[in-house]
Structures are given as structure tokens and as C-alpha cells.
Amino acid sequence: MEVNLSNIGTVKSILAKHGFTFSKALGQNFLINPRVCPEMAAQSGAGHGVGVIEVGPGIGVLTCELARLADKVVAIELDKRLLPVLDETLAEFDNVKIVNADVMEIDLHALIADEFAGMEVVVCANLPYYITSPVIMRLLEEKLPINSITVMVQKEAAQRICAPVGTRQSGAVTCAVNYYAEAQMLFKVSAGSFMPPPKVDSAVIKLNIRKEPPVNAADEEKMFAVIKAAFAQRRKTVLNSLSNSLHIDKAAVHSALAASGIEDNARAEQLSLEQFAQIADNLHKTQSKK
Ligand code: SAM
């Protein structure tokens, strides 16, 4: 029999039956607004021929919407206490597999190869907010064979990630995400849509994975180190923050900036990805000449 997982009464009685109590440390705020999960699933790209990876199914409210649309859903849940709950709430679906693991540790390349042969793969999740950026960066940096990542995150994180590079709202995460994907704000979700309600509002974003990076970086790692260092002291000039954070003398940073056509008093938030890539290359050249 189908259970309505957006109904507070139903959710409370299922959780009480299993003696479940919410863990703040695991970011357990479950969605109870009936409009949100169908909309997230519809926008995630889940459909015929598509496999979905979900992170943190909770009691399965988003999982069942994904399972209605996709060929297969593999949901990675860290909290063992939710396994018997999910057995009950997802009983009607034969295309869902729950994997009891930590999303930061599981081998995602192997999971995709084993579970989704011949399918396109997308990620869709209401993320535990304590690991929002690490999860997103792991999914991107591992260069997984996935098309997109549709996730609920804290509203401020969503705004930062989706800000255009080179604007005041941008940050290191904006640049890093932008290198791998095109970020799109889908819709905002109020704190009252969750049980228990978190202290912050949320938003759903979609990251469409790029086939090719938008800039040519001779060494990606060095470019990311420059981005991180430039934003580490974002109120300072790039000259000062790069020199301080990378422990490189100002003359060398000045030469690299000049060779990239960038003024010493520019700020990190004014720079494009292309310029960060150039600075990294030029810093490397200046350093290796020494
Ligand atoms: N998808 C459900 C919903 O929308 O109602 C639950 C979302 S809740 C915000 C986050 C979920 O992630 C919880 O079920 C939590 O137990 C799980 N979780 C927390 N840390 C995790 C980790 N490192 N790996 C996998 N799941 C995790």
C-alpha cells in the first residue's frame, strides 16, 4: 500500500513505530512539503533510461518520487537506523536499492559501473547541510560519468554557488563549481517545509556537468590553489592575499599578475576563471625560473 510520506501524521507514526529520533549531527531535516519532492524529481532529469544516485534518503520521501520516474535509484544512507524504516516505506518499489554507507567514503565510480550499466546517471538529493560543499566538490572532482546534480542546499550556499564568476557574490566555491558545471538556481524552499524545521531557508540548484572545462588550465590543482588563496582574504587585493596565503614574495606575485594583464589592486571577486588559470600558469613559470 502506498504511504504518504509528506503527511506529518504518517511520518510521525512511522518514526515512532521504529523508535527513531532525529540526529542533528547527521543533518536530519526531512521534507514534508508535498510539492517539493515531485518538483525536484521532475527537474533532476530522472526518466526512462536514467539511473539516479540519491544521497541521504531519510525516510524515502524523495526516493519514491525518483523511483516513479527513473529506471533505477541507488540511495546512499549513513544512518543504519533508517534501514528498517526504508524497507517499509519503499516496499512498493522494485527499482530502489539502499546502500548503507558514507557518501564521502564510498567508491562512486565502482557504484556507477556496477549499478547503472547502459544508463545515463544523475544525482538528486536533499543534502545533509554539514557536508554540502565537500559532497558537491567530491561529486565534481571525481569526474564521474554523470549528467547533472540536483540538490537542496542552504539558501546562502545556493546563492554563492550560482552567482556569476567575477561578481561580488562569487567565492572560491563559485569558481570551483563553475569549472566543472553550469550552475542553475531552480527554486527556494522555506524552513517550514521540513521536519524538524532548520534555522535557515533552503534552495534547490542544478549543476549541469560540462563536457569540457570552460578554460584551459595547465595544472588544475595549481589553479584551484590560487583560487582558494585569492579568496582566503577576499577584502585584500589579490597581490596581498596571494602573497600571504601562498607564502610567495610580492615581487613574484606582481610579475605573475602583470603577465596576466591584472592590476595589483584587483580583488578576487573581480577575476574570471580564465584569469585565475593565467595567474596559476604565470606564477608557476616565475617560480620555476628561480
Ligand atoms: N532525503 C530525505 C528528505 O528529503 O526528507 C532526508 C534528507 S536529510 C536533509 C539528510 C539525510 O542524509 C539524512 O537521512 C542523513 O541520515 C543522511 N546523511 C547524513 N550524512 C550522511 C553521509 N555522510 N552519507 C550518507 N548519508 C548521510
pLDDT digit string, tens, across residues 152-167: 999 999 999 999 999 9
Same fold, 8-209 and 220-288: no
Query: How many Å lie between the centroid of ligand 1 and the Cα of residue 261?
Result: 45
Mutate to test the pocket of ligand 1, among 52, 77, 201 (most ligand atoms within 8 A of CB): 77
Query: How many Å lie between the centroid of ligand 1 and the Cα of residue 61?
Result: 12
**Cell numbers 544525482: residue:** 123
pLDDT, mean of residues 117-132: 97
Report pLDDT for 193.
97
Ligand 1 atom closest to Cα of residue 26: 19
pLDDT over threshold 80, residue 2: no
Q: Which fold has domain 220-288?
A: Helicase, Ruva Protein; domain 3 (1.10.8)
Average pLDDT value over all residues in the chain: 96
Which amino acid makes up residue 140? L
Query: How many Å lie between the centroid of ligand 1 and the Cα of residue 271?
Result: 35
Q: Which fold has domain 8-209?
A: Rossmann fold (3.40.50)
Encode pLDDT of 167-190 as tens digits: 999 999 999 999 999 999 999 999
Residue 196: asked if its preceding bond is cis (omega within 30°), the reply is: yes
Residue 193: φ, ψ to 5°: -80, 0
pLDDT, mean of residues 92-117: 98
The Cα 75–Cα 158 span in angstroms is 23
Check if the beta carbon of residue 284 is closer than 8 Å to that of residue 221: no
Query: How many Å lie between the centroid of ligand 1 and the Cα of residue 223?
Result: 32
Query: How many Å lie between the centroid of ligand 1 and the Cα of residue 58?
Result: 5
List all residues 6 or more positions away from 117 whose beta carbon is below 8 Å from its beta carbon: none
Work out whether strand 202-209 and strand 120-126 pair parallel, antiparallel, or are unpaired.
unpaired
Query: pLDDT band at 284, cuts 50/70/90?
Result: confident
Q: Which three cell numbers stand for residue 190?
A: 522555506
Please state the domain extents for the chain.
8-209, 220-288
* Ligand 1: lining residues by beta carbon, under 6 Å: 26-31, 55-58, 61-62, 76-79, 102-104, 126, 128, 131
Report pLDDT for 1.
55
